[in-house]
């Protein structure tokens, strides 16, 4: 069995963003040479997420609105975590909602996706360099 590891690095200038990383993940899969197996992608930071969904701008806008209702950034004083001098308690909660990682089956050297599925990196507390891990195992 083969094992392959690669990191994707992000430097998101704004507070939040959804970045389609499907092409980067597919490139890593080709680089790995794995034809049958499993691929994991996970955010390596507790204020970022990796998730699978449709690459549709209206949906991304809806995510922004929905997440802000569930875990609003303001008022930052409303979160006990922010008493540490941080202002990112909402980002931790948004990450919890959107998830840490995805696992995708590899079949015939391709990601075994359903219709419209794409992989996204979600940033909820940008402004510094962060990374996601790609781990591939199989044959």
pLDDT of amino acid 41 = 98
Residue ranges of domains in the chain: 2-138
- Percentage with pLDDT > 70 across the chain: 100
pLDDT of amino acid 76 = 94
Residues 6+ apart with CB under 8 A from 137: 1, 2, 3, 4, 34, 37, 38
pLDDT of amino acid 37 = 98
pLDDT of amino acid 115 = 95
Q: Output the CATH code of domain 2-138.
A: 2.60.120.460
pTM above 0.85, yes or no: yes
Give pLDDT tens digits for 106-136. 999 999 999 999 999 999 999 999 999 999 9
Give pLDDT tens digits for 9-61. 999 999 999 999 999 999 999 999 999 999 999 999 999 999 999 999 999 99
pLDDT of amino acid 69 = 98
| Sheet bearing 101-107, strands edge to edge | 2-11, 129-138, 37-43, 101-107, 110-111
Cα→Cα distances 85→24, 31, 76, 89, 129, Å: 35, 42, 10, 11, 20
């Amino acid at each position: 069995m083969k094992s392959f590891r690669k990191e994707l690095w992000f430097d998101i200038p704004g507070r939040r963003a959804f970045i389609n990383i499907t092409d980067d993940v597919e490139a890593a899969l080709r680089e790995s040479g794995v034809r049958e197996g499993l691929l994991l992608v996970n955010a390596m930071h507790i204020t970022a997420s990796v998730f699978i969904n449709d690459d549709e701008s209206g949906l991304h806008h809806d995510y922004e609105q929905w997440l802000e209702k569930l875990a609003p950034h303001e008022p930052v004083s409303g979160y006990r975590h922010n008493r540490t001098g941080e202002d990112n308690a909402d980002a931790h909660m948004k990450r919890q909602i959107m998830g840490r990682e995805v696992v995708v089956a590899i079949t015939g050297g391709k990601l075994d996706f359903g219709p419209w599925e794409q992989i996204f990196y979600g940033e909820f507390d940008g402004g510094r360099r962060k990374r996601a891990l790609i781990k591939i195992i199989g044959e």
